[in-house]
Structure 1
Amino acid sequence: MAKPKQFTKPPKKQKSKAAAPETADEFQEAADFEEETGGKWRAGDPAKSGRAFVRALEIYERGLQRHPSSFDLAYNKARLELEITQQPPIVSHIQLPLIELLKQTLDSHRYALRLNEENPDVLFNTSQVLTSLAEQLSEADDSGSAIPLLQEALELLSACLSRQEMLLEQHQADLEDAEEGGVALDPEDRPASTSGSEASGQTVTIENPITANDLLDTVHASLSALTTLVSLVEAGALQTLGDMAHSLTENKAPAYIGLLPVDAQESARFTFALARASFVSAFADAQYNAFMIEAETYLARLEAFSIPSKGQDATALGSEAEARTEFALSVLARFEGSPDLPVDLCWKQLSLAQDLYTKATKIGRSAQVYLSRGDVEMLRHRLASSPYVKLSDGMRKSAPTLAQNAYTYYKGAVRLGTDEDAELKLKAQQRMSIVARMRMLLYETEPSADAADSIQSSAAYLRAGLVQSVEEGLLETALADAIANSLTAK
């Protein structure tokens, strides 16, 4: 998710720490102090950082009770909540589930929007909260609630982009006036939005000048929301979303990139091309699952990942690998249990995905990449052990090795995982246990010393992992049932 937008805060005023804040500025200064404390402890002590951020939020809340029309306080409270949601170690110390924290954050952003509905930063940030909440609800199988949130995010991003374009045009006009002999207004001299009339006077918000990078950020956020949305909506809505993406990718983004300094354009084109490829692959997957296109067309669309210099970027390599894995999963789902499954086509795409992940690990190893490599080997094992299709001898004989590889990669994900990867590490550990039992069941492989703890995992823990593995297409239902039955067998 894009980084929350921020505006320039007024210079801090020296004041007595003992004095209770009264004005909106004083509440902001007190909250700033706690935010700075939280920032200092963010990496070293998430618990202490979380407590400081909570104190800052309490100060913002008290300030808004005294000064309910202060846009600065409303905006900064909402911004801090959004930043907290993006820090898993800190979220774990807030004592509020992430979905509930996102809902609270959304309420705060909507409050700020009511105070200033044209501020591009709060428009952008509100869209980011909506997108994050939608992603969490989608992962919780609540796509019905996620869809309207993503649609609202796109509406806000459209309004944000229009506002940014107007402000950028105004800024460029000021520069042209200056070149013709006039004097360009300094940002601090411009009329600024106010946070409301207070007893002590008016407090102003100073907005940073809009740049082409800001417009590109909004395009990227829009493409990200569209990429998530196309996998959730009905087939009839796909064309409208595709048209929206086409306008962004073919008209808006190239024009904005052209406004950047020449030395920044190549990097921007690469980043944009990757975002475009991710949308194209998600859109093709949605169309294929809706029986609107066939596998050949879907596969041709993945050529969007033919991006210059892709081989030097781990994110780009991983994104293409994920897209090719998704292609294989969708084809497997369409031909579930059928002898007509194009096994060679799926095998080739999964092999390409594994090659891409291997290249990515040479650039930088991560727990997510190793988890994905394990999943790819599980999918190749599913193909190699399929009873429904005709396989080459070499492919079928590779099944035990693929199972061993999957275990090794899941083990690597556990080893590389950090505190921020707690959920990922749990999934990898769970799948290690499943693969260890699968190897014992299918190949009578004695567990190695390092697999002993995995074998001893609880039955309930493993059954939950088996259900998820079937849902994600990694295991056939029959094999998952056999593993589940083996859990109680002595």
Structure 2
Amino acid sequence: MPKRPFPPPARRKKTPKAPETVDEYLAVAVELEESGERWRSGDIAKAGRFFVQAITAYETTLARYPDSFDARYNRARLLYTLTQLPLPSNFFPADSTAEGRLIAAVEAHKECNELERDSSDVLFNYGQTLSSLGEFYAHKDINPDDGNSHETATSELKRLLPAKEALEAAWQTLQQCLVIQEREYKATLAQTAAFDNDDYQNDNDDVLMDADDGGVKLPPSRRSSGTSSRSSGSGNGNTTQWAAIVEPTTTATLLDTALAMLDVHTSIIGLGGASTATSIFTEPYLNEITSNADATLTSYILPLAGKLHTEPDIDGTALAEREIEAALARANYLAELAELRYHLSLTTADLWEAAIKSAFDTITLQNPEDTTIRTVDLSTSWMALCDRSTAYATLAATVSATTPTQSWKVAAIAARDLKAATDLAPDKARPEVYLARANLELLRTLIPVAVNTDTSRSLLRKNAGVYCRNAVAAASSGLIGAVEGGKVKEVVEEARIKEALIGAEDGSVDGVQSLLAGGVTADRIRAVLRTAVEDGLFSRELLSKVW
């Protein structure tokens, strides 16, 4: 998230002096925040503790200087940061909930937006927090303590409507942000053109002046655009001056916001499951959502991505990553839309399958300002392969009972994608890829086709167990950072639980008992099992067999 410009921390002295001015108070908070950033890649819990101290320091600043917008902005940003870090479950007080922390971050950004209107940084951060709140509601567990129940259509709708509301607010906020950023972008271009003309005029003046003196042309001066100066008072009455560089709005900035908008649209569309699609989506509402998303794609994402290669400061690797990011955002949106249309009876399973294939096909990006065409092949991206596999697996699970032959076919395609993704994925991502392969093998065991014999199912289940163990082994490679490590820990725990559940379905609960003895809670096992049953990975009878 964009940071607010702030002064560098003051040098440490042997006897620290209590802060007296607003800038000295800010300097204390900034130093704590920067300490947290330094520990972020090594000890995520320690980083989190520094961030909590920084939040307290910003709040202390606000208690003394309530008009300090920098303190208010940075506090809001850190409140959101804490919601996104994979911190230990016992990091927060017992009365602190994930929902409460997200709502606090949303309210803090709302306050910033009310105090400083038309700030693209504030609006972007505000949109991100609203989007995260919507995602939280979309995946919130309604029955965390009831291991034998599954979510009814009524309770699911009760959960999804707040998600829809938060996501809609996120899109509107990001749309406002994009309008302001476009204005800033045009101003940046105009300023750059003015500087270029100024330099050209200066160059001509230099040529004339130097020619009169028999000299040579001088090179144009180097300029820095978008700078501003601020002053910080110190305790002894001296004034410290510093410069805050305001980052110009670029093509990449606009692309970031447009991609965030499309992600929000994709999330809204993803709310429409088999039992809730008709309750959430009317035809006019669906048309409005798709119209907005299509406009974001055609007017912003694709042309901006096609223009990235003209940016002077982007290297080949970064360019390829951003182009794939844009193409993948489009593919996931189209795949989610095809699924929703199926649930709304607006398309067939065959057309849904064709839409997935088309969405992930190679696409071209054309710069609207010239004839340059760049090709993006998503089959070279492990993330795209995983996402396409997920789309095919969802189709397979949905049509398993009605068209099992098609289900078996697309599940096999999904398996090939995950095998290819395993070879391409970095070390930090391999545990999650292996877990996805285990999930897919379990899904395939329940597809009722003639070729899926007892022998075939037994082999698939063994494969699933192997992939669960591979996920655990991949996580111990020693090449995973602290931030990724927190997420990987959850993947490893889920893999161990699912391997134990495979044994339980075969008649042995020893694996489950071993997990409980090793510290995995019964609630966690129930949650994984319930979700797996809902996803079609285990039979519902396993719920009563384990508990």
Q: Shared fold by TM > 0.5? A: yes
Q: Displacement, 1:14?
A: 4.5
1:293 to 344, 347, 361: 347
The 3-state SS of whatever aligns with 1:5 is: coil
1:423 to 485, 490, 493: 490
1:318 to 386, 399, 402: 386
The 3-state SS of whatever aligns with 1:88 is: coil
Please identify runs of 4+ aligned residues in structure 1 that moved more than 6 A.
182-185, 200-205
1:171 to 188, 213, 227: 188
Match of 2:198 in 1: 181
Which range moves more in the overlay, 305-314 or 158-167?
305-314
- CA 1:279–1:372 in 2, change beyond 3 Å: closer, same or farther? same
Q: Aligned partners of 1:285 and 1:24: how far apart in 2?
A: 54
Given that residues 84 and 90 in structure 1 are in contact (C-alpha distance below 8 angstroms), is that contact kept between their aligned partners in structure 2?
no
Match of 1:51 in 2: 49
The 3-state SS of whatever aligns with 1:260 is: helix
- CA 1:267–1:429 in 2, change beyond 3 Å: closer, same or farther? closer
Q: Displacement, 1:43?
A: 3.4
Given that residues 29 and 54 in structure 2 are in contact (C-alpha distance below 8 angstroms), is that contact kept between their aligned partners in structure 1?
yes
Q: Aligned partners of 1:381 and 1:455: how far apart in 2?
A: 25
The 3-state SS of whatever aligns with 2:536 is: coil
Q: Displacement, 1:207?
A: 3.3
Q: State the one-letter code of the partner of 2:85.
A: Q
Given that residues 84 and 91 in structure 1 are in contact (C-alpha distance below 8 angstroms), is that contact kept between their aligned partners in structure 2?
no
Question: Superposition pairs for residues 393-404 of structure 1, below 5 Å?
Answer: 393=451, 395=453, 397-404=455-462
Q: Displacement, 1:19?
A: 2.3
Match of 1:196 in 2: none
String of CA shifts for 1:342-398, please: whole Å, max 9, x gaps. Answer: 112111111111111111111235221111111111110001xx3xxxx33465541
Q: Aligned partners of 2:245 and 2:65: how far apart in 1?
A: 19
Q: Aligned partners of 1:468 and 1:259: how far apart in 2?
A: 42
Q: State the one-letter code of the partner of 1:322.
A: T
Given that residues 403 and 439 in structure 1 are in contact (C-alpha distance below 8 angstroms), is that contact kept between their aligned partners in structure 2?
no
Q: Aligned partners of 1:9 and 1:85: how far apart in 2?
A: 23
Match of 1:376 in 2: 440
String of CA shifts for 1:441-472, please: whole Å, max 9, x gaps. Answer: xxxxxx7xxx9534655695655543222212
Match of 1:280 in 2: 334
**1:147 equivalent in alignment to 2:186:** no
Question: Superposition pairs for residues 219-230 of structure 1, below 5 Å?
Answer: 219-230=258-269
Which range moves more in the overlay, 278-287 or 132-141?
132-141
Q: State the one-letter code of the partner of 1:269.
A: E
Which range moves more in the overlay, 456-465 or 292-301?
456-465
Q: Displacement, 1:206?
A: 5.6
Match of 1:197 in 2: none
Q: Aligned partners of 1:206 and 1:67: how far apart in 2?
A: 24
Match of 1:131 in 2: 131
- CA 1:14–1:464 in 2, change beyond 3 Å: closer, same or farther? closer
- CA 1:465–1:58 in 2, change beyond 3 Å: closer, same or farther? closer
- CA 1:329–1:238 in 2, change beyond 3 Å: closer, same or farther? farther
- CA 1:453–1:272 in 2, change beyond 3 Å: closer, same or farther? same
1:439 to 501, 506, 509: 506
Given that residues 472 and 492 in structure 2 are in contact (C-alpha distance below 8 angstroms), is that contact kept between their aligned partners in structure 1?
yes
TM-score when scaled to structure 1?
A: 0.84
User: Percent identity at matched positions?
Assistant: 27
Q: Displacement, 1:83?
A: 2.2
Match of 1:235 in 2: 281
Q: Displacement, 1:90?
A: 6.2
The 3-state SS of whatever aligns with 2:506 is: helix
Match of 2:64 in 1: 66
**CA RMSD, aligned part only?**
2.9
- CA 1:111–1:83 in 2, change beyond 3 Å: closer, same or farther? same
Unaligned runs of 5+ in 1: 193-199, 336-340, 441-446
**1:305 equivalent in alignment to 2:368:** no
Q: Aligned partners of 2:108 and 2:544: how far apart in 1?
A: 49
Give the number of equivalent residue pairs.
451
2:294 to 240, 246, 250: 246
String of CA shifts for 1:46-83, please: whole Å, max 9, x gaps. Answer: 33322221111101001112222222111111122222
Given that residues 289 and 330 in structure 1 are in contact (C-alpha distance below 8 angstroms), is that contact kept between their aligned partners in structure 2?
no
Unaligned runs of 5+ in 2: 142-158, 203-222, 231-238, 273-279, 363-375, 476-484
**1:75 equivalent in alignment to 2:73:** yes
1:9 to 6, 9, 15: 6
Q: State the one-letter code of the partner of 2:45.
A: A
Given that residues 393 and 410 in structure 2 are in contact (C-alpha distance below 8 angstroms), is that contact kept between their aligned partners in structure 1?
yes
Match of 1:357 in 2: 418
- CA 1:140–1:413 in 2, change beyond 3 Å: closer, same or farther? same
Which range moves more in the overlay, 259-268 or 79-88?
259-268
TM-score when scaled to structure 2?
A: 0.76
String of CA shifts for 1:382-419, please: whole Å, max 9, x gaps. Answer: 01xx3xxxx33465541111111112222223343444
Q: Aligned partners of 1:179 and 1:91: how far apart in 2?
A: 55
Given that residues 437 and 455 in structure 1 are in contact (C-alpha distance below 8 angstroms), is that contact kept between their aligned partners in structure 2?
no
Q: State the one-letter code of the partner of 1:271.
A: E
String of CA shifts for 1:195-238, please: whole Å, max 9, x gaps. Answer: xxxxx999997632111101000011111111111122522122
Given that residues 106 and 130 in structure 1 are in contact (C-alpha distance below 8 angstroms), is that contact kept between their aligned partners in structure 2?
yes
Q: Aligned partners of 1:313 and 1:82: how far apart in 2?
A: 29
**1:260 equivalent in alignment to 2:257:** no
The 3-state SS of whatever aligns with 1:59 is: helix
Given that residues 380 and 402 in structure 1 are in contact (C-alpha distance below 8 angstroms), is that contact kept between their aligned partners in structure 2?
yes
Match of 1:392 in 2: 450
Q: State the one-letter code of the partner of 1:283.
A: L
Q: State the one-letter code of the partner of 1:217.
A: D
- CA 1:99–1:422 in 2, change beyond 3 Å: closer, same or farther? farther
1:93 to 91, 96, 104: 91
Q: Displacement, 1:430?
A: 2.1
The 3-state SS of whatever aligns with 1:89 is: coil
Match of 1:160 in 2: 177
2:403 to 334, 337, 342: 342
